[in-house]
Amino acid sequence: MNKIPLVCVLSVLAACSNNPSTRVEDREINARVRIPASQDSAGVQVYSLQNPAVKQLTAQARDAEREGDLGRASSYLERALGIQPRDPQLLQHMAEIKLQNGDYQQALSFAVRSYDIGPRVGEICSRNWRTISVAKEHLQDSHGADDAASRALQCMNIRPQGL
């Protein structure tokens, strides 16, 4: 019985030290960005062509991300962006890493850039807007977050420019 208050105190302390309210867990990324975006992706899909070097770095970034080493993941992606700086998938992946790292301003920036130069349709578009939505939510911009969430739903309907 005596242990219960101690456990509570420790949990509270642990919660404070981890500051979960300012970090996006990888579960949240999957639940709020990646999975719904892939479920949305029934329509037109446009993916950039990646060269093998970029694919290799992306795979390494994914491994690092799975291991929870977001710094290394970010560094691999930055190298990949050095090779293909205008690859919307790389930019979006970086946005998701920044989101998990609690760097919401940068998550927002990378997702917006990915959308700007990306296909603006399909799964990548949905991931762009869902990331923007989560980032804005954490940046206390609830109106912007709602707006971005509704833009994510339009990614399947809007005809991309040039198509």
Partner 1 sequence: MAIKTKSKVKKTRVKKTSPVPRKRQRKPTPRKKSGWLRRSLRLLLLLLGLGIGLGAPWVIWLDKQVRTEFDGRKWDIPSRVYARPLSLYTGKPISIQSLVLELNATGYRQVQSAAMPGSYARNGNHIDINRRAFIFDDGVESAVIFRLHISENKILSMSSPPGGRDPGLLRLDPAEIASIYPLHDEDRTLVALTDVPEMLVTGLQAVEDRQFKHHRGVVLRSIARALLTNIKAGKTVQGGSTLTQQLVKNYFLSSERTMVRKGNEAIMAFLLEWHYDKARILEAYINEIFLGQQGKRAIHGFGRAAEFYFGRPLQNLEAEHFALLIGMVRGASFYNPRRNPQRAMQRRNRVLDIFGTTGLMSENEVKIAKTRPLGVIDDPPPASSRYPAFMDMVRRQLKRDYRSDDLSNEGLKIFTTLAPSEQEFAQQAVSGGLDQLQQRGLPADLQGALVMAETASGEVRALVGDRVAGRRGFNRALDARRQIGSVIKPLVYLLALEHSGDYTLVTPIRDEPITLRQASGEIWSPVNYDHKSHGELPLMDALVHSYNQAAVQVGLKIGVNNLIRKVRQLGVEAKIPAVPATLLGAVELTPVEVAQMYQSLAAGGYSVPLRSVTAVLTQQGRLLSRYPLRMLPLDHREAVALLNFALVRVIEQGTARSLHALLGNNSLIAGKTGTTNERRDSWFVGYTRDRVAVSWVGRDDNRPAGVTGGNAAMRVWAEFFRHLPVSGVDLGLPDGASYVWVNVPQNALTDPSCPDAVQIPFVNGTEPQAKTRCLVRLSRKNRK
* Interface contacts to partner 1, rule CB under 8 A: 51-53, 55-57, 71-72, 74-76, 78-79, 81-83, 85-86, 105-106, 109-110, 112-113, 115-117, 120, 161
| Least distance in angstroms from the C-beta of 60 to partner 1 | 9
| Residue 110 tokens, joined | 């990378």
Question: CA quadruple 41, 153, 66, 108: dihedral positive or negative?
Answer: positive
Smaller CB separation from partner 1, 29 or 77: 77
Q: Which is nearer to partner 1, 39 or 86 (CB)?
A: 86
Burial category of 15 from C-beta neighbours within 10 Å (exposed 0-12, middle 13-18, buried 19 and up):
exposed
Please state the closest distance from residue 21 (CB atom) to partner 1, in A: 23
Query: Which residues have CB under 8 Å from 45's CB, separation 6+?
Result: 121, 122, 123
Minimum separation from the CB atom of position 1 to partner 1 (A): 46
In the bound complex, what is the minimum distance in angstroms from residue 86's beta carbon to partner 1? 7
3-state SS assignment for residue 54: helix
